[in-house]
């Protein structure tokens, strides 16, 4: 990977044979000194007229731990610290970003439509909970399961050792309990060596509540807006330019010093900016330009509750130019049909037509009235390419924000898990799996924290109980601060070797392999897509084809009742290539769709509860020659 002119200037920069230069923006501080612990010394910094403090100290080496001494009395970590080995309140550490020996020189990234994401939490994916503990599982993820990208939940230093990561306060410091800078670079390098891209979840809508000293340095916050997590980040004021730089530099930093391929921007609906150039667009332009200079593909995926097509519309067409966004509408449409839940934000969903719209359009709500919001919601999205939408049946939010963290495997029958998987992996969108779903993990994914401030810890625990008190869950909601809450969330990898877990993993593996080799499924084209629904029967038919030949038909029922029905299917002769009822996928093998169907004959078909099957169109020659029986259920 060739170098570019961009470098991280803020923070501590190591210069071989010269020492370390320190730069910090702190307009609210009159004097700052660098206070090193070993060697023990304190060196004043020079302040310019814009609140920028600088100094170079000769003979300092990587590994030096230091604080900034604010106005001669307060010891604080560096806002641009590359490492916080003693946590959010401890000293920062000088890091040489060029010390790591990368071996991924031929890696250039991944195209958006080739992305199959696997979201994981570094602390609960393995018993050790470190970056390097993930390494032995890379072969499984890449070769046995077949995903193409690992997505890490946020890794910026947060208080304590247990947290989802959204309470990060040292945005440039990979979490020390996970293995710090060396551990993260080792993981990314190893992923690239086996052909896996790496996505990183980054949080720019707020900063965590504990160990957050940014407000002492400068106007990083504004009272003009409020977020669900506290004060909004200040992107608009006269001094907001340095705050914007702080965030954009962070994105470029992950791409440059850690070779990250995809940045997932957390909850951009909580980023408030009325500037002529929105910070999300500015950040996207900077990252894409830097990627081109590096000769790499770097993607940006937003989480957004806005249903605003502008976010994922190209800049030349008046949008913000973000490559893709999470599609909560697809999840909600699928979840309500499989579970029957209608509480909370699920109240706007529950119709089979919602799922059909999610497949054809992207946004289910594109201007209609939303019961949840009490107003019209969203903008049209049918014109946008399918790969602009990242879809899932489970993710950290949809599982972990439940009171007791139940996964879909605890909410629906086994057959319904295969329907959910089939819809996600065969849709014309970018699929995302949440760690463990591929084998039906039964451990919950709970909300956990490890705040060291007693008052904050108590507030978090009490707040979690109050959040679910209306549902009579106040006595059973696990305490986020209890270590056991974290331990219960760890994956049980051994499950995938046995029984239905093994069968479900085989189903995921075969569908992923089919998606990757099938011309009809590998493209996310909406131009070669047809969806038919029979709402009363809860039957969905999805047809996807490639202009140069391959034509596939997906049949799925989203009901726990068996069904005999004569759907008007697309004309032609179709041969079954996947059947979720096959014994190798944990099905009973008793109620099975026929090996061949003719779309025009109107024959009655018998569907098992939560049925899923894929058919391939036969050419005239194949029909006239008598196509051999397929291996039922084999992808």
What is the pLDDT averaged over residues 517-532? 95
> In the predicted model, what is the mean pLDDT of the chain?
94
Q: Which of 315, 137, 92, 280 is nearest to 202 (CA)?
A: 280
Kindly state the percentage of the chain with pLDDT values over 70. 96
The reported pLDDT for the residue numbered 555 is: 98
Extract the tokens encoding 406.
Answer: 């139940």
Place of tokens 């996947």: 578
The reported pLDDT for the residue numbered 64 is: 98
Encode burial over 518-545: b for 16+ CB neighbours within 10 A, e otherwise.
bebbebbbbebbebbbeeebbbbbbbbb
Query: Over 90: is that where the pLDDT of 337 sits?
Result: yes
- Give the C-alpha distances (Å, rounded to integers) separating 77 from 18, 66, 86, 89, 216: 23, 8, 11, 7, 11
Annotated catalytic residue 266: yes
Confidence of residue 630 (pLDDT cuts 50, 70, 90): very low
Query: Over 90: is that where the pLDDT of 3 sits?
Result: no
The reported pLDDT for the residue numbered 265 is: 98
Query: Over 70: is that where the pLDDT of 4 sits?
Result: no
The reported pLDDT for the residue numbered 289 is: 98
Q: Which of 185, 188, 163 is nearest to 396 (CA)?
A: 163
Kindly state the percentage of the chain with pLDDT values over 90. 90
Sheet with 19-25, side-by-side order of all strands = 11-15, 19-25, 52-57, 46-47
How does pLDDT run across 410-425, given as a tens digit for each residue? Answer: 999 999 999 999 999 9
How does pLDDT run across 186-198, given as a tens digit for each residue? Answer: 999 999 999 999 9
The reported pLDDT for the residue numbered 634 is: 47
The reported pLDDT for the residue numbered 635 is: 53
Q: Going by CATH, does the domain composed of 11-93 fall within 2.60.40.10? A: yes
Q: Where in the chain is the domain with CATH 2.60.40.1180?
A: 526-625
What is the chain's alpha carbon radius of gyration, rounded to the nearest angstrom?
26
Question: Are 82 and 172 within 8 A, CB to CB?
Answer: yes
Query: Over 80: is that where the pLDDT of 350 sits?
Result: yes
Between 311-325, 346-360, 508-522, 609-623, the lowest mean confidence (pLDDT) is in 609-623
Taking the C-alpha atoms of residue 560 and residue 541, their distance in angstroms, rounded to an integer, is 17
Between 332-341, 371-380, 469-478, the lowest mean confidence (pLDDT) is in 469-478
How does pLDDT run across 229-284, given as a tens digit for each residue? Answer: 888 999 998 888 999 999 999 999 999 999 999 999 999 999 999 999 999 999 99
How does pLDDT run across 541-577, given as a tens digit for each residue? Answer: 999 999 988 999 999 999 999 999 999 999 999 999 9
Annotated catalytic residue 303: yes
Query: Over 70: is that where the pLDDT of 633 sits?
Result: no
Pick the more confident residue, 467 or 428: 428
Query: Over 80: is that where the pLDDT of 470 sits?
Result: no
The reported pLDDT for the residue numbered 2 is: 47
Question: Are 386 and 526 within 8 A, CB to CB?
Answer: yes
What is the pLDDT averaged over residues 180-206? 98
The reported pLDDT for the residue numbered 589 is: 80
Q: Is the dihedral of CA 289, 291, 292, 294 positive or negative?
A: positive
The reported pLDDT for the residue numbered 468 is: 85
How does pLDDT run across 74-96, given as a tens digit for each residue? Answer: 999 999 999 999 999 999 999 99
Pick the more confident residue, 1 or 387: 387
**Active-site option among 151, 236, 249, 266:** 266
Confidence of residue 57 (pLDDT cuts 50, 70, 90): very high
What is the pLDDT averaged over residues 42-71? 97
Q: Which of 552, 564, 572 is nearest to 606 (CA)?
A: 564
Extract the tokens encoding 430.
Answer: 């970018």
Extract the tokens encoding 357.
Answer: 């719209």
Angle at CA of residue 465, ends 461 and 467, nearest 5°: 115
**Active-site option among 78, 151, 210, 303:** 303
The reported pLDDT for the residue numbered 631 is: 38
Architecture of domain 526-625: Sandwich (2.60)
Q: Where in the chain is the domain with CATH 2.60.40.10?
A: 11-93
Q: Which of 312, 311, 353 is nearest to 329 (CA)?
A: 353
Q: What residue ranges in 18-135 does DSSP mark as E strands?
A: 19-25, 32-36, 41-44, 46-47, 52-57, 65-70, 74-76, 92-93, 117-120
How does pLDDT run across 432-464, given as a tens digit for each residue? Answer: 999 999 999 999 999 999 999 999 999 999 999
């Amino acid at each position: 990977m060739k170098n570019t002119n961009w470098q991280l200037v803020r923070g501590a920069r190591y210069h071989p044979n010269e020492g370390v230069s320190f730069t910090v923006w702190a307009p609210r501080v009159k004097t700052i000194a660098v206070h090193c612990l070993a060697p023990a010394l304190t060196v004043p910094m020079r302040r310019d007229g814009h609140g920028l403090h600088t100094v170079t100290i000769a003979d300092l080496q990587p590994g030096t731990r230091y604080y900034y001494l604010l106005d001669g009395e307060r010891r604080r970590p560096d806002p641009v610290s590359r490492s916080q080995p003693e946590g959010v309140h401890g000293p920062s550490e000088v890091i040489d970003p060029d010390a790591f020996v990368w071996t991924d020189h031929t890696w250039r990234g991944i195209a958006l439509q080739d992305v199959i994401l696997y979201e994981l939490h570094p602390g609960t994916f393995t018993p050790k909970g470190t970056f390097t503990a993930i390494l032995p599982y890379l072969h499984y993820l890449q070769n046995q399961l077949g995903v193409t990208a690992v997505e890490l939940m946020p890794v910026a230093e947060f208080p304590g050792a247990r947290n989802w990561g959204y309470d990060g306060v040292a945005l440039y410091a990979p979490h020390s309990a996970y293995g710090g800078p060396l551990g993260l670079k080792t993981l990314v390098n190893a992923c690239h060596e086996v052909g896996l891209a790496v996505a990183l979840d980054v949080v720019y809508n707020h900063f965590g509540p504990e160990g957050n000293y940014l407000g002492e340095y400068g106007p990083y916050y504004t009272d003009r807006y409020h977020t669900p997590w506290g004060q909004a980040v200040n992107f608009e004021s006269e001094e907001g330019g340095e705050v914007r730089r702080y965030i954009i530099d962070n994105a470029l930093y992950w791409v440059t010093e850690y070779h990250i391929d995809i940045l997932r921007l957390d909850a951009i609906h909580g980023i408030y900016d009325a500037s002529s150039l929105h910070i999300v667009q500015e950040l996207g332009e900077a990252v894409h330009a830097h990627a081109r200079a590096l000769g790499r593909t770097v993607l940006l995926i937003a989480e957004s509750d806005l249903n605003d097509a502008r976010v994922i519309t190209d800049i030349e067409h008046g949008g913000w130019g973000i490559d893709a966004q999470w599609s909560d509408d697809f999840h909600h449409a699928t979840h309500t049909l499989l579970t029957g839940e209608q509480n909370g934000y699920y109240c706007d969903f529950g119709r089979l037509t919602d799922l059909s719209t999610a497949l054809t359009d992207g946004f289910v709500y594109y201007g209609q009235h939303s019961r949840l919001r009490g107003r019209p919601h969203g903008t049209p999205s049918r014109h946008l390419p399918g790969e602009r939408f990242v879809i899932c049946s489970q993710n950290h939010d949809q599982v972990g924000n439940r009171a007791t963290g139940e996964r879909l495997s605890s909410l629906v029958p086994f057959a319904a898990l295969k329907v959910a998987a089939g819809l996600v992996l065969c849709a014309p969108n970018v699929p995302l799996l949440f760690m463990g779903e591929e084998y039906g993990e039964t451990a919950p994914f709970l909300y956990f924290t490890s705040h060291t401030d007693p008052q904050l810890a108590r507030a978090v625990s009490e707040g979690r109980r109050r959040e679910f008190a209306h549902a009579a869950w106040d006595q059973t909601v696990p305490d986020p601060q209890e270590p056991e809450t974290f331990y219960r969330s760890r994956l049980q990898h051994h499950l995938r070797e046995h029984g239905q877990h093994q069968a479900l993993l085989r189903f995921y593996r075969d569908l992923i392999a089919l998606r990757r080799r099938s011309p009809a499924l590998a493209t996310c084209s909406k131009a070669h897509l047809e969806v038919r629904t029979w709402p009363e029967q809860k039957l969905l038919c999805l047809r996807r084809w490639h202009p140069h030949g391959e034509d596939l038909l997906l049949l799925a029922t989203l009901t726990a009742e068996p069904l005999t029905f004569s759907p008007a299917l697309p004309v032609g002769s179709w041969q079954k290539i996947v059947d979720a009822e096959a014994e190798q996928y944990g099905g009973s093998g008793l109620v099975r769709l026929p090996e061949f169907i003719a779309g025009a004959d109107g024959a009655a078909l018998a569907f098992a509860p939560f049925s899923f099957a894929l058919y391939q169109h036969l050419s005239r020659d194949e029909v006239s020659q008598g196509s051999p029986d397929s291996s039922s259920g084999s992808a």
